[in-house]
Amino acid sequence: MAQRFRHPAEYYTDPENSIGYLARVVFRSFSRLLERGTLTHDVSAGQWRFLRQLWRQDGITQRELSERVGMREPTTVVALKSLEAAGFIRREKTDTDKRKTYIYLTPHAKRLELVLAPMNAEIHEIATRGMTDAEVATLQAMLRRVVENLADETRTLSVLSDVQA
């Protein structure tokens, strides 16, 4: 049980050393700056996240959309309600499987991609100011690595509690 830690616990008392803290600040700053732009088109940051996925591909189910956006399904339900009320999407049911709901963008929402998608690129420019392309690529790769590591752990824990159940 001689677990070697990279740093002692005291090291992380400074949030500036904590990846979790830094990720939170990055996420929130990103969100807020992005929303400054999108709100002029009556799109909130939360709605934008769903639109981004739907711009890539619409006509998918809510569950599929939830996974791609990285939100739980109740969150998606609420978000889609607001998107539907705002006239950005419509839902469609089929007879082949009456459980599923397919989400489609309205023409209005499709047109918005031209205006709103570049805003994310712009925030990226600001966020990575003064960094080389290689540095940015490294940052992305390492963040993906962290995401994967944490997802692995979450899966492991889920399996364990499944077994216990």
- Binding residues for DNA restricted to 102-141, rule: CB under 7 A: 102
Q: Any contact of residue 53 with DNA (CB under 7 A)?
A: no
- The least distance separating a copy of itself from the CB of residue 10, rounded to whole angstroms, comes to 8
By CB under 8 A, name the one of 74, 96, 98, 130 that touches a copy of itself.
130
72 contacts: CB under 8 Å, gap ≥ 6: 66
Toward DNA, which CB reaches closer, 72 or 108?
A: 72
Cα–Cα dist 57/65, whole Å: 9
CA distances from 56 to 49, 53, 65, 98 (A): 11, 5, 11, 25
Q: Any contact of residue 150 with a copy of itself (CB under 8 A)?
A: yes
Is residue 69 within 8 Å of residue 147, measured between CB atoms? no
Per DSSP, helices labelled H in 39-132 are: 45-56, 62-69, 73-85, 107-127
- The least distance separating a copy of itself from the CB of residue 25, rounded to whole angstroms, comes to 5
Q: Any contact of residue 121 with a copy of itself (CB under 8 A)?
A: yes
By CB under 8 A, name the one of 39, 140, 155, 160 that touches a copy of itself.
140
Is residue 112 within 8 Å of residue 120, measured between CB atoms? no
In degrees and rounded to multiples of 5, residue 104 shows phi and psi of -125, 145
By CB under 8 A, name the one of 39, 77, 78, 147 that touches a copy of itself.
147
Give me the residues that bind DNA (CB under 7 A), please. 28, 32, 44-47, 49, 61-64, 71-75, 77-80, 82, 91, 96-102
